[in-house]
Amino acid sequence: MLNATWLETFTTLCETGHFTRAAERLTMSQPGVSQHLRKLEQQVGQGLISQQGKSFTLTAAGEAVFELGLSRRAEEQRLRTAIEADDPNSGPVHIACSGSFAMLLYPVLLPWMRNAPDLKVHLEAAPQAEILAGLLEGRFDLGVLGADPDHARLEAQHLGREELCLVLPADVADTPVSFADLEARGFIAHPDGYGYADDLLRLNFPDDYPGADRLSVRGSVNQIGQIPAAVARGIGYTLLPRSGVEAFAERDSLSVVPLPKRRWHELWLVVRRGRRLSARVCYARETIETAAGQLR
């Protein structure tokens, strides 16, 4: 890489066409300008100017380096302009959350994306450990976690909580459900479902629940948006956070069964500590808060 200071000195020299005027513009001495020129020529490995008395002309290498200097200036100016403008509707923003919350959040993001063609929203559904790692590595601007990470390099804002739900078809009567009823229907399993079963079913059916590995499974699917589909058509039951239920397109075909003991999952919005958030990330943060508000 060419030294940026030497390159800027040479670019100014080319623009002024005179060592003294270049030195005045750069607020440095004329010998300093000459020294920067010699060092840049050493880096390039060729002479950049051909002197005739007090004037000079550019060599072929000098013309190429001058063009590079102008290009570098233009790139830096574009960068400064973009930073100073901080347009909330332009540039990338990276968000990570659970699959169920992503289903709820994405429709809330779409109107913003439609009205901001220069905006690039990357929403990733990921496990909690991956979200945490991505925040620490700087791959994600914002993350939604199920607990305060309590990490020195992160800061967390409590968004609220969402209920873990037992989901059955909408035509199920509003009467108590036994574990035997669930076993007769069969579990629509998914990657997080077994953990949810140990959490919610063990809490409500302590005498009958045999453990997630012994549940009667009717089917399984690993696409979050498709998990409730079988239940909506009268096949089995499943367990999902409230966001996964509310975001399902056929929500009216589902019933959230009230249980004697309810279980809630916390929601925390997490960012890198001390990081200045761009306008677009701040707006994305507000959008996440709006989506979480639907769960109250």
Query: Helix or strand or coil: residue 2?
Result: coil
The whole-number pLDDT of residue 60 equals: 95
The whole-number pLDDT of residue 106 equals: 93
pLDDT band of residue 173 (cuts 50, 70, 90) is low
pLDDT band of residue 296 (cuts 50, 70, 90) is confident
Task: Classify domain 4-85 by CATH architecture.
Answer: Orthogonal Bundle (1.10)
Pair 281, 142: CB distance under 8 Å: yes
Where do the CATH 1.10.10.10 domains begin and end in the chain? 4-85
Query: Among 201, 199, 250, which Cα is nearest to 225's?
Result: 250
Task: Classify domain 91-158+267-293 by CATH architecture.
Answer: 3-Layer(aba) Sandwich (3.40)
State how beta strands 119-125 and 238-241 pair.
unpaired
Scanning the chain, the segments in alpha helix (DSSP H) are 4-16, 19-26, 30-44, 60-85, 99-115, 128-137, 179-185, 193-196, 202-204, 227-232, 242-246, 279-293
pLDDT band of residue 271 (cuts 50, 70, 90) is very high
Q: Measured over all CA atoms, what is the biggest interatomic distance in the chain, rounded to whole angstroms?
A: 101
More confident residue, 197 or 191: 197
How confident is the model over 130-146, as a mean pLDDT?
95
Tell whether the model's pLDDT for residue 32 goes beyond 80. yes
pLDDT band of residue 120 (cuts 50, 70, 90) is very high
Mean model confidence pLDDT for the chain: 92
Q: What is the pTM of this model?
A: 0.65
Query: Among 288, 29, 268, which Cα is nearest to 146's?
Result: 268
Tell whether the model's pLDDT for residue 53 goes beyond 80. no
Backbone angles phi, psi at 191, to 5 degrees: -55, -40
Where do the CATH 3.40.190.10 domains begin and end in the chain? 91-158+267-293, 162-264
Tokens describing residue 175: 């009467």
Homologous superfamily assigned to 162-264: Periplasmic binding protein-like II (3.40.190.10)
**Percent of the chain surpassing pLDDT 90:** 79
How confident is the model over 178-186, as a mean pLDDT?
96
Query: Helix or strand or coil: residue 124?
Result: strand
